[in-house]
Amino acid sequence: MTSAHTLPPRVTDEKRGRKLLGGIALPVGILALLIAGSVLSEQFLTARNLTNVLINMSIVGIIVVGMTFVFIVRGLADLSVPAMVAIGALLALGLQPALGSLPAAMFGVAAASCAGLINGLLIGYARLNPVITTLATGTIVLGVAQAAVGGVIVYGDSPGLQSFLTGRLLGVPVIVLIFLAVALGGHLLLSRTTFGRWVYATGANPDATKASAVPLRFTKGAAFWMTATLSGFSGVLLGLTLQTARPGVGTGYEFDAITAVVVGGVSLLGGFGNMPRALGGLLLVTLLSNIMVLNGIATESQGLVMGALIAAAVALDVYLRRRGGAS
């Protein structure tokens, strides 16, 4: 009864804080970075550099779309991303001699998708801890993929696909178009479909959602399946653009994706956030790292900045939630 009376004003506070964080802070931050970037480096505001930023965003961006679902469904995070990226890239290139370029690429996505299905079953249906589960499946998948393709570095031989992906359509790099299509699809799935509603509800209050006849286990599992499939797809694109892949090719993608989602203000505690926010977070993070690279900041220092950013964003999220009395 006490909470019934004290809750409304606190939640208003939370709303205000969240509006500040997501509604204004994100665009303001991006704008500030654009200004800072053009002041700090002459190369920054060139079409070539900004195109590079977009291309860099695209590979991670496809993973961010999946990771956003994982966050909102209160699945914590998917740490099998590097393995899924690697399996996608390794198979897409390594199987080319046997299957041909396109079937090999599809096989890469399918393999990641199957591994994602295992993630989904273990996390959604067997209710295992997502962090430990994805860490374990990731390690296993990577091992299997390495064994399957044999060598350490795999080279591709599909110049046609490579030039298509790195080429442009109506002036926009094809890979960016692919990312935008995935992002739009993810956005619509999350905001306009029954499944999207289930995702929010599951993250907001799993008990009440289960009691409302929602297939809770399916919803949670599907978020992980999607993330793995998209990561595999992303890996395939990466492999085809580079025409070379090694098992470590996906390293760091999980961290980049998580950073983007968290900085975008999507709650690690579930039930809150949306696709535009997550992608805004991605843009901010990508710009920041681009500026640091252009200004010759050492890799170690870049890590420091990114680490601090993610810690600050999570702390702010938890703080706002506590104030809101939701946890």
Partner 1 sequence: MEGITKAFPGVKALTDVDLTARAGEVHAIVGENGAGKSTLMKILAGVHTPDEGTITLDGEQVRFGSPLEAKQNGIGMVYQEINLVPDLSVAENIGLGNMPASGGMIRRKALHDRAREVLEELHTRIPPQELVGRLSVSQQQLVEIAKIYARQPRIVVLDEPTSSLSHHEAEALFAVVERMRNSGIAIIYISHRLREVLEISDRVTVLRDGRMIDCRSAQGLTPKEMISLMVGRDLDDVFPKQAVEIGEPVLEVRGLTRLGVFEDVSLTVRAGEIVGLAGLVGAGRTEVARAIFGLDRLDAGQILVGGEEIRVRSPRSAVRAGIAYVPEDRKRDGVALSLTVKDNIALPVLHRVSTLGWVLRRPERELAQQKAEDLHISPPVVDRPAATFSGGNQQKVVLAKWLATNPKVLILDEPTRGVDVGAKADIHTIIGELAAQGVAVLMISSELPEVLAVSDRVYVLHEGRLTAELSRDDADEESVMTAATGEGAAA
Rounded distance between C-alpha atoms, residue 179 and residue 93, angstroms: 21
Q: How far is the CB of 133 from partner 1 (least distance, A)?
A: 23
- Residues ≥6 apart with Cβ < 8 Å to 270: 71, 72, 73, 74, 75, 202, 203, 204
Distances (CA, A) of 1 to 4, 15, 44, 113, 324: 5, 22, 56, 47, 16
Q: Which of 12, 43, 46, 244 binds partner 1 (CB under 8 A)?
A: 12
Site string for partner 1, 284-313 (x = CB under 8 A): ------------------------------
Q: Is 209 in the site for partner 1 (CB under 8 A)?
A: yes
Q: Which of 162, 197, 305, 309 binds partner 1 (CB under 8 A)?
A: 197
Q: How far is the CB of 77 from partner 1 (least distance, A)?
A: 20
**Residue carrying structure tokens 């399918």:** 110
Q: Which stretch binds partner 1 (CB under 8 A): 35-43, 119-127, 206-214, 281-289?
A: 206-214
Dmax over CA atoms of the chain, in Å, equals 69
- Touching partner 1, residues 226-285 (CB under 8 A): 271-272
- Nearer to partner 1 by C-beta: 70 or 292? 70
Q: Is 8 in the site for partner 1 (CB under 8 A)?
A: yes
Give the total of residues touching partner 1 (CB under 8 A).
Answer: 35
Return the SS3 of 168: strand
- Residues ≥6 apart with Cβ < 8 Å to 227: 63, 66, 67, 69, 70, 78, 81, 84, 116, 119
Q: How far is the CB of 122 from partner 1 (least distance, A)?
A: 20
Distances (CA, A) of 267 to 17, 37, 130, 294: 13, 28, 16, 31
Q: Which of 87, 201, 280, 300 binds partner 1 (CB under 8 A)?
A: 201
Q: Is 13 in the site for partner 1 (CB under 8 A)?
A: no
What is the full DSSP assignment across 210-228?
HHTT--HHHHHHHHHHHHH
Q: Which stretch binds partner 1 (CB under 8 A): 144-152, 202-210, 275-283, 289-297?
A: 202-210
Q: How far is the CB of 215 from partner 1 (least distance, A)?
A: 7
Distances (CA, A) of 24 to 32, 280, 285, 313: 12, 11, 16, 15
Chain residues in the site for partner 1 (CB under 8 A):
1-5, 7-8, 11-12, 15, 192-198, 200-201, 204-205, 207-215, 271-272, 324-326
